[in-house]
A and B are shown apart, each in its own frame.
Chain A
Amino acid sequence: MPMTTLAGTDVDVDAEGFLTDASQWNEDVAAEIARAEGIEELTDRHWLVVQVMRREFAEKGTGPAVRALGKISGVGIAELYHLFPKGPAKMAAKIAGIPKPRGCI
């Protein structure tokens, strides 16, 4: 498993740069991943979504898909795409330090 350093923290990542151990995450790591994804600054609305992603992952072992994320976070789908233009479920998961959404195969 490759290891890299983000914002001064050593983290394990997969081939696509998703953290493989959510406990290695911190807010500075999130901000650096976000910058690499083209989000210069994380706003309060970004952080709200990131928190929901991490809470859902802790409770269920997987991050929510887009529709579920909208319902659970109260942030509308249009705004989610505005916040995370490359696709909210995947991009927010990456910034939140949890695995990308997967199917069963």
Chain B
Amino acid sequence: MPDRIVILGGGTGGTIAANRLRRSLPEGRADIVVVDRDDAHIYQPGLLFVPFGMAAPSRLVRSRARQLLRGVELVRHAVDAVDLGAGTVALDDGSTLGYDVLVVATGATLLPDETEGLTGPAWRRTVHTFYDMEGAAALAGALARFDAGHLVVAVMDMPIKCPVAPLEFSFLADWWLQRRQVRDRVRLTFVTPLDGAFTKAVCNRELAGLLADKGVEVVTEFNTGTVDGEGGRLVSYDGREVAFDLAVVVPLHGGASCVARSPGLGDPLGFVPTDPATLQSKAHPNVFVIGDAADLAASKAGSVAHFEGEIVAHNIARFLAGEPLDARFDGHANCFIESGFGKALLIDFNDEVEPVPGRFPGPVGLPLLRESRLDHVGKLAFEQIYWHVLLPGRSIPGVPSRMPLAGKRLAAAAQTAGS
């Protein structure tokens, strides 16, 4: 009898896990079942470009089922809850699905209602988000009409998916407003709960001028308690205010609601406590976690799910064979940061090594932590790599799961640490 591996979620992490397992396990070793409520797989990095008319929403969506290799089954149902003791998943039609190994790939969920006033009468009128398709499309309309006033980009609180996306939005907004020749009539402000737009020492040293050069004001350590949409202001818990004419917010994030409904699976935020090295859940040995659903310190980003895929697939095979888990994730993440005017910069880092200058993945590769046209082209090319290399569960040639050190100027980090 083959074992049954059930994967909750057919997004980036779930699709990669399913296809890697399909490739690596011998034929007939396991049945692989992916559960998702719908068949719409969104290329989430593309949402950033929708408000600026640089990506059509329809182009970013493909069938989930078609991203899964032959032999992987897609069950189209919402998940009610997991019973860890029984090893079953209850679906919304009342049926249950038994598993030998469960992979939680349910991602992160936007929780705009958790911030007082955020979804009030001004929501989707003067208060927007680009973190989902509906919001990104609505924001495109609002931006097209916006030609003067105060544009505020605000992160409600960490953790969020793709932590650099709000910065990228600010950079692109500056470029887009200049192109429309209204930049001098718009004040642009970036609001963050952290103590700087750049919180890592080397990034701060290399990139601090970027926001100033673009005329983006920064408000730090601002934890938004209330969004007063009609009054046009954000109010922080410690009583400070930021006035706006158009607000672009990143709502609070939590885990999937089905995690919260599953006794013993999630933490109070709905994320799944996970061993950062083996990616096995702390809840139960036969439960593994990939992508944003995990409570890890690693960034909530597609590249992290990609690098985790190899680790998860390897360790599940070991688990099924009754062997100790020996693959270890290092927190490797890799992101192109779009900076406007046809340029981008690339960062590559892990739990131990902060983003530093240099080249990636080796000495003759793409520039790191420096604006370049090459990196912008890399960002655009990544969309095809996502559909045709990442999701099918392949590795990108030359880009290992473990963060490469070659090409990195590590002295830059040592220099800061010693200063």
Closest Cβ–Cβ distance, residue B393 to chain A (whole Å)? 25
Whether the Cβ atoms of B193 and A66 lie closer than 8 Å is yes
The answer to whether B157 touches A67, judged by C-beta atoms less than 8 angstroms apart, is yes
Considering only residues 146-186 of chain B, those with a C-beta below 8 Å from chain A are 156-159, 163-164, 167
State the CA gap A59–B114 with chains docked (Å).
25
Is the Cβ of A102 less than 8 Å from the Cβ of B199? yes
Residue contact A102 to B273, C-beta cutoff 8 Å? no
Query: Taking A66-B193, A87-B223 as contacts, is the C-beta distance between A102 and B267 under 8 angstroms?
Result: no
> Are A77 and B225 closer than 8 Å at their CB atoms?
yes
Give the distance to chain A from B211, nearest Cβ to Cβ, in Å.
Answer: 12
Contact partners of A67 in chain B: CB under 8 A:
114, 156-157, 223, 252
A102 and B225 contact, CB distance less than 8 A? no
- Contacts A66-B157, A67-B157, A87-B221: A61 and B237 contacting too (C-beta < 8 A)? no
Task: Verify A104–B269 contact, CB threshold 8 A.
Answer: no
- Of B17-25, B80-88, B293-301, B397-405, the one contacting chain A is B293-301
B351 part of interface (Cβ distance < 8 Å): yes
Establish whether residues A100 and B164, one from each chain, have CB atoms under 8 Å apart when the complex forms.
no
Query: CA–CA, A89 to B222, complex, Å?
Result: 11
Flag whether B195 is at the interface (Cβ < 8 A): yes
Assess the B355–A89 pair: CB atoms within 8 A. no
Chain A residues with CB under 8 A of B268: 68, 71-72
Once the chains bind, are B351 and A105 in contact (CB under 8 Å)?
no
- Taking a contact as CB atoms under 8 Å apart, the answer to whether B351 and A61 are in contact is yes
The reply to whether B164 and A59 contact each other, CB–CB distance below 8 Å, is: no
Tell me the total A-B contact number using a CB cutoff of 8 A: 84
Residue contact B207 to A105, C-beta cutoff 8 Å: yes
> Does B1 interact with chain A (Cβ within 8 Å)?
no
Instruction: Please determine whether B269 and A71 come into contact, CB atoms closer than 8 angstroms.
Output: yes
Contacts of A81 in B (CB 8 A): 237-238
- Is B237 in contact with A103, judged by CB distance below 8 angstroms? no
- B198 within 8 A of partner (CB): yes
Residues in B neighbouring A71, C-beta threshold 8 A: 268-269
- What 0/1 readout, one digit per residue, does chain B (400-419) give for beta carbons within 8 Å of chain A? 00000000000000000111
Q: Does A54 count as interface, using CB distance less than 8 angstroms?
A: no
Output the nearest chain A residue to B207 by Cβ-Cβ distance.
A105
- Partner among A66, A78, A89, A104 whose Cβ is within 8 Å of the Cβ of B163: A104
A85, CB-defined interface residue at 8 Å: yes
In the complex, the answer to whether A105 meets B417 with C-beta atoms within 8 Å is: no
Given A59-B273, A67-B252, A103 and B199 touching (CB < 8 A)?
Answer: yes
Query: B101 at interface (Cβ–Cβ under 8 A)?
Result: no
Given contacts A61-B351, A81-B237, contact A103 B200 (CB under 8 A): yes
Residues of B366-419 at the interface with A, using a CB-CB cut-off of 8 Å, are: 417-419
Q: Are B273 and A103 in contact, CB atoms less than 8 angstroms apart?
A: no
B194 beta carbon closer than 8 Å to chain A:
yes
Which A residues, 35 to 92, have Cβ-Cβ distances below 8 Å to chain B?
A: 59-62, 65-68, 71-72, 77-78, 81, 85, 87, 89-90
Known: A59-B273, A66-B237. A103 touches B207 (CB 8 A): no
Q: Which residues of B contact A59 (CB under 8 A)?
A: 273
Q: Which residues of A contact B61 (CB under 8 A)?
A: none
Q: Given A59-B273, A60-B295, are A102 and B194 neighbors across the interface (CB < 8 Å)?
A: yes
Interface residues of B (CB under 8 A from A): 114, 156-159, 163-164, 167, 192-195, 198-200, 203, 207, 221, 223, 225, 237-238, 252, 267-269, 273, 276, 295-297, 299, 333, 335, 337, 347, 349, 351, 355, 417-419
Q: Which 4 A-B pairs have the closest CB atoms?
A: A62-B297, A65-B158, A105-B203, A102-B199
Name 26 A/B residue pairs within 8 A (Cβ), A-sorted.
A1-B417, A60-B296, A60-B297, A65-B157, A65-B159, A66-B157, A66-B223, A66-B237, A67-B114, A68-B157, A68-B158, A68-B268, A68-B269, A71-B268, A72-B268, A72-B269, A81-B237, A90-B221, A101-B194, A102-B200, A103-B158, A104-B164, A104-B299, A104-B335, A105-B163, A105-B167
Extra contacts, 12 of them, besides A15-B419, A67-B156, A105-B337 (Cβ < 8 A), are: A59-B273, A60-B295, A61-B276, A72-B268, A85-B238, A100-B199, A103-B198, A103-B200, A104-B200, A104-B333, A105-B198, A105-B200
